Structure 1
Amino acid sequence: MLGHATAASAAEPTAGYPEPVIQWGVQKGETCDDIAKVVYGSAKHVALLHRYNRIGCGPATPLPEGLTLVLPATVTSIPDARIKGAYPEVKAKPPGGAWVTAAPGMPLGSNASVNTLDAGRADIEFIDRTRLVLSPRTLVVIYGTASRSRVSRAPPAAVELEDGEVKAALSALRGGAGASGRASDRTPLATVEVDIKGGGRISASSRDTVVQRKGERTTVAVFDGKAGVSASGRTVEVPRNHGTRFTPATPPAPPRPLPPAPAWATGQGPDIFLTEGDAGVFTASWKPVPRATAYRVEIARDPDFNDLVAREEVAADVLAFRGERLPLGAYHLRVRAIDQEEYLGIAATRVGHLLQATQQGGQIGPRQIEASPYGVLRLGPSNALEMALDDGPYGPLVERLDLKQRQPEVIHLRARGGASDASPAEPTTIRLVYRPVTATIDAPQATPGVPLQILVRLTGASGLDVPTRVAPQLRVHMPDGVRTLPLDPTSRAADVATFTATLPLPASLAAPVRIDVIDDRGALLGTTHVEPLARPEPPPPPVPKREPPPPVLGAWMPMLGVSPVLDTLWLPPTLPNAAAAGAAIGRTDAGWVGQGQARVTGSFGPVGFDAALRSTAIGDSTLGSNGWAGVRMRVVRLEGSSFELAPAVRVGFPLTDAGPATRLEPSLAAAGALGQFSWLANAGLRLRLQTDDTATIPSIHGFLLAGATYEPISWLRLHSAVDAHLLQGDAVRVGFGLGLEAGGPAFVGATVRLGQGIDEGQGLFTGQLTLGLRQRAP
């Protein structure tokens, strides 16, 4: 009756177990007592056979032949179970002790209790690697087996459920697990026994059976394998994806199908979400299930949903899940419908991966990357994913992608080995939208020969090491060729980087200059044209300052009487440029006489000249023809000819034998202008230079002439003057003249004089008419 045992090293625990174990192959007719005596030396250690095996031991009851048992290598005492996970607050109570806060790793002995309270969850792992997952508001009692192993043919229950929900999750196999410790679909599953307080038992050969107790009613949902449900003397077998319910007073209902799994709104996954930080967002949505009153949503770190992150029951109108601030890694999402009879439905599951991604000069979104063509994209690391760029093949995840070397439009991500699946999941497509880096160039108009100061602003460079990754520089198109210039960084503000450069310009520059900003690969980032300033024209030669033409002071052609003695001329310091011919009439001793005349005056700068010719008088042959010629030098001229002064000398000479004797006339002329008025005075002497046989010409006489002019309009001038003569022998002669001159360059003049003649018999009236040409001031 001796079976065969395979020994394990006593020095170290066997892999997957908390202690060294051996395997025992049951021979025909062997009982639990027989095996305990052989392995441990006494039948009193038979309880050790229940530690890793769900078997029924009774007196003289043989075990099934060929059954493989896992047995402790030696007699040891270890807890029946341990708390594998507890969140956020779970209470545990050892036998006969007080309630304490449960923590992962806490041992649970026989008759220990675990309570998840209102919001807690707990994961209990038994020595035989079966597991129970407790929902909120669940109270269980851990059963020991040693005291019952000799009195019960049936395997003892692992737990007793007082209230709440447990999930029976098996990992041990009858006859042993494979190397991974997981059961295969073709290997018979071990059974987990759950007693319901008040009556009822569930024997679940299943990896996923959920037992819920609310009040007196217990609901069982089997999602894998099968479960036997016993109550009130009746047992039903519940197959996969079916459920039943009972109370202590009513037997189990016939198994009925569970609510169907919700259909995902978008594909089957896996979902891969990018996040820049150490945590991210996992989202999913599903389609409504008919007659659902609520949904249970669970997210876990493992495919068996033992390491739960969150579990919520939501209303029927909630059809989406959003998990925020989840640490990086893989997550499993499960959604079940709950129908009107509170049956928990078949699960829809999908896998999500939160993958870290960082990018210089861009932004990361769950499904899109706003990238800079000069940035570096960093992904992962993750051994669970593989990727493809654009239409390329899949390969391991590239943790560093330099976008300067390659700029894919899309990145495809999928679970590693997805192409070999019978129904491969759709890959997650991440689109890359490239944000260009552009340059604006500020440069003033170019001045030939003067260095040009250039300011460059680069936008779209946020987060980039611009001098290294972009390395901008200037490319300048000059008339004599193309040259490149470095750019010096000056400042950085948010998305804008500023650079400056100085461009020397030749003095001969005449054509526009094109300025480009390029990167280190020659790609154009911005351009502008700078027009050269026109060469300054040479300054015009200085215009010599010309004095304005002086105003004409006095009359253009003053009175020239018929008397050879009183014919002094009223002339200004600056003589006008004019010429005239005319006639004068007057009364002498011989009666009325007339005399023709021609005169000319002019100036060259301060020097003036004058000349006058008179014909022999008509009506008095004693008045012969004579002429006068003179010159003067202006010595004073104030601004605007407000005052002028000039000495003058004139010479009179006979032109016929009857003409008057030769005379010399020194004089002084003073005059001034005041707006439309001018005044003029002449004072001088006449000296006879030869003998006068007629005795009509005094040897000396002095004279004074003074008067004024008024020009009301540009073509008309009025004048008046008083003349006084002191003759030889103290004789004095005085006269008063009035006249006008009218016209432009050609003008006419008329003058009359009223006054004494040389002799008493001569008349008081002398008149003059002239017609002339003149040069007027512009």
Structure 2
Amino acid sequence: MLSLTLYPVLPSPARPRSPRCIALALLGLALAVLPATALAQPAPPQVERSLPQVRLTVVRGRVDVMPADGRSFAPALADTALARGARIRTGDDGRAEITLSDGVTIALDPQSLLVIYGNASPTAPGVAPSTTTTLVRGTLRITAPPASAAESIPIATQALTVFPGRSDALVAAELGGHVTRVAVTRGRMRVRFGTNEYVLPSGRAVREEVGRPPSLMRALPRAPQWRRAPSTRALSFGEPVDVEGIFGPGPRVSGVNVTGYRVDIARDARFRDRLGEQRLGPRETQLRFRSLNPGTWYVRLFALDPDRFESSPSSVARIEIAAPRVDPGELPTATAAGRRASLVIPQGFYCSLDGSPWMVADRPRPLDPGRSYALRCGTTADGHDARATTLAADQVGPLVHSVRLAPPGAPAGGTTAASTLSLDLSDAEGRPVSLATVEVSATEPEVVVEPLRETDPRGRYTAGVRLPVTVRELHLRVVINRALTLEEAVEVPAVAFAAPVPAVRVAPPPVQVQVIRAAQPFRHPEDEEVPTDEDE
């Protein structure tokens, strides 16, 4: 019960008691005798320091997420916001990366479980929400921007709590977090273990276990060094390429034994899109990656000690596996002009077409359609390491073509028609394709197509055709430069025949003969008889 002592208030002799003063006194007396619960007001909410927002930015392999109010895990999606209490779980091949709004990234290795701003067990009712992220099991890698001034979020395991600050570090929770390994490779990080708190500097590591006294700091191995880094450029014509390199251990650290190496390979310089990793023994110093596809790859090395602590990473080897590519071009449309195919040469490479001088990657090289090219490329200007391949005719299109058949003509009453076949060839920009070798044949056995020859205008090829008058469609096979084959169906225009004219027998006109006089038969003078003496 509320205890209240009242003291009388004497009025001032200079000012008489007013009705307003009397009312205020009575109100105060009424409030004094009310129960304490009637005066209770809700406490103002406690202002919590602003926590960095969290997004799941990279998902590789099997990664599942369960929200704080969820009952089961579901497959995770990249670029997803993670609320307080969300759980991220990676499978045997799963890798995930979360990004905080202050620029810090946390990468999860396979077989890991992380709770965002929460504990391993659900928060009991009435208990203030946690501001600590919990690593239940597995391994995470923290990377802070070099210029970051953020304290970032604390990360706890069953054994300890770390405050990453502006450091790059590894935290591994084993045996349910009862054993925790922490290593710092850049900057320094505050560690709280039980009632003890200390700062772990760069190049040092600890292994703490629940129920045991704090352990001593240990030195990390030195980063491996490249003896012969993989080639910065490798040529591919689209096929996978093997990559090799040679490395060795870094400077020896007293009391630290190197028991193996870990090799990371990724498609980006930050190693967010990692292809995977290799484990090598302490005496293995030759690195080999098989069947890497064209693209840019990044490789780095780590040295491992007996407790699987890692060194800082080696220098990153950048490998560009490049393939000259053909931009296929585009056919013209109603709203856009066509574009020829072209050869695109990667930066730092040299290529030659059909024995031409070496070309560099200053501009795309246009290609003529309907033919093949002999392509040679290398990584040096003298071509000593050049390799050869062929660009097929169907890669260097598009080829614009049209086929026409003139109306056939045939003699009256004939069964075979004669026509003219015309084939026009041009590239996507409308330039005629001239001096091509064109062969045309028909699938109909009765059809005969004569050899084609180029006529005016350029790019037009014509040939005579003989075909039965009953054929209404020709199926043609067109071979251009003995490299590109086209199949065409051409409609045959109707054959126009002249109607036969029936023969009319006309009787000859009558002949009238009029005898004017009878003439003596003609006799040659030599035929006249000469009288003899006896006649006389």
TM-score by length of 1: 0.35
Max radius of gyration: which structure? 1
Relative to the length of structure 2, the TM-score reads: 0.50
